[in-house]
Amino acid sequence: METNHQAMGYDRAITMFSPDGRLLQVEYAKKTVKQGSSAIGMVCKDGVLLVTDKRLMSKLLIKESVEKIWQIDDHIAATASGILSDARVLIEHAQVKAQNNMITYNNKVDTLSVVKDVCQLKQVCTQSGGLRPFGVSLLVVGVDEMGPKLFETDPIGIYFQYKATAIGECDTEIEEILDKEYKDTMTIEQGLDLAVKALKKVLGKNFKTEGIDAAYIKTEEKMFKRIDRKEIEKSIKK
């Protein structure tokens, strides 16, 4: 059926619905996310956690130059899967949103407002001629007055709130592990151990110690911090 729709040109424009009510360009964007490297987000009892695989493809690559966890504000961070250049545009948009909120209201922006703003931009690109959808999903974590939160946004501009979730390649397998082993009483340290264990299991031979990156925001401090390489290696060895 999809081949027939392609032949009839229903996938040539984002504004064109197929006869069975599908936006094929959006579905292609979602497939792009599935091909991206894995990322995991968790809400723990003492804060929020992001763990991601940077998928380092070459020994000659300077691993510090590959950024896949971004700070949006002191208390909000994000990671992505899919086209990372698309992600950078969305992250910069979110950073400006956070800065504008502080300038206008002298108050830190809440996590949901940032997520809604990013999703608004994503959604516009699903109904405007000459544009294409953002080929990226984001995991956004934050600690605000409402407590620690984790949101997932998809290419079409939909967002969902989770206790723990994964995006990118092997996301289904990782989510199965999280379903069985995640507990909301976990500390950030225990969450890191679980996330690393899940990545090791699903990535197999493609798992590279130096390619794992992680960051957290504690509920009490509300400050973005990257997890030290030694702590990540300690979790990998467990």
Residue 9: its pLDDT value, please? Answer: 74
Residue 135 scores a pLDDT above 60: yes
3-state SS of the chain is CHHHHHHCCCCCCCCCCCCCCCCHHHHHHHHHHHHCCCEEEEEECCEEEEEEECCCCCCCCCHHHCCCEEEEECCEEEEEEECHHHHHHHHHHHHHHHHHHHHHHCCCCCHHHHHHHHHHHHHHCCCCCCCCCCCEEEEEEEEECCEEEEEEECCCCCEEEECEEEECCCHHHHHHHHHHHCCCCCCHHHHHHHHHHHHHHHHHHHCCHHHEEEEEEECCCCCEEECCHHHHHHHHHC
How sure is the predictor about 238, in pLDDT bands with cuts at 50, 70 and 90? confident
More confident: 1 or 232:
232
Write out the residue range of the structural domain in which residue 228 sits.
2-237
How many domains is the chain built from?
A: 1
pTM for the full predicted model: 0.93
Note the pLDDT tens digit of each residue in 184-231: 999 999 999 999 999 999 999 889 889 999 999 999 999 999 999 999
Q: What CATH number did the domain enclosing 218 receive?
A: 3.60.20.10
Residue 59: its pLDDT value, please? Answer: 83
Residue 140: its pLDDT value, please? Answer: 98
Per-chain mean pLDDT for the chain = 93
Residue 8: its pLDDT value, please? Answer: 64
Note the pLDDT tens digit of each residue in 100-129: 999 999 999 999 999 999 999 999 999 988
Residue 237 scores a pLDDT above 70: yes
Residue 6: its pLDDT value, please? Answer: 58
